[in-house]
Amino acid sequence: MPGRIFLVAWVGSALLLTGCEREPQPPPARVKQVFHLNPYEKDFGYSQAVQVDKTLYISGSVSVDQNGRLIAPGDMAGQMRAAYSNIRRTLAAHGAGFDEVVKETIYTTNMDAMLKACDLRFEYYDKERLPTTSWVQVQRLVDPGFLVAIEVVAELP
């Protein structure tokens, strides 16, 4: 009798495990959409933003106009405002605003000047809903006239 109970238990376990060994379904394909804010970006070789599902990754935005010309040479606050303006345009093109930004990284060639101008961030962000932020001083940005580059990640509505 004990052998029969063992056999029934073993067969029952084997049947249960067989039902669990199905191939897992692959996750749904993630859709990657590339966005260019300005026409020159394709020629330069980068995307202003890439959207994957509901996450928007915005490249380091700098102080340039729609033709790629430097705005506010030598003026940290002016360059930060221009970079944030470009970020705002990219966010708006995706139906979002600064409230959806969850991560911000600011690269600067002059940390002291950036710290003096950093309060202007509150022109864009709600003080009660700030994204995570990293501030990094670098030796140089792609154009020697750039003082700051700001990249963000946003979760779209």
Please report, in tens digits, the pLDDT of each residue of the chain (157 residues total): 555 554 444 445 554 555 556 677 776 667 677 877 777 767 777 778 899 999 999 999 999 998 889 999 999 999 999 999 999 999 999 999 999 999 999 999 999 999 999 999 999 999 999 999 999 999 999 999 999 999 999 999 8
Residue 6 lies in a domain: no
Edge-to-edge strand list for the sheet holding 132-137:
32-35, 49-52, 55-61, 148-155, 101-108, 132-137
- Count of structural domains within the chain: 1
Residue 15 lies in a domain: no
pTM for the model stands at 0.78
Residue 11 lies in a domain: no
Residue 14 lies in a domain: no
Residue 82 lies in a domain: yes
Residue 25 lies in a domain: no
Residue 36 lies in a domain: yes
Q: Please state, in angstroms and rounded to a whole number, the distance separating the CA atoms of residues 152 and 4.
A: 65
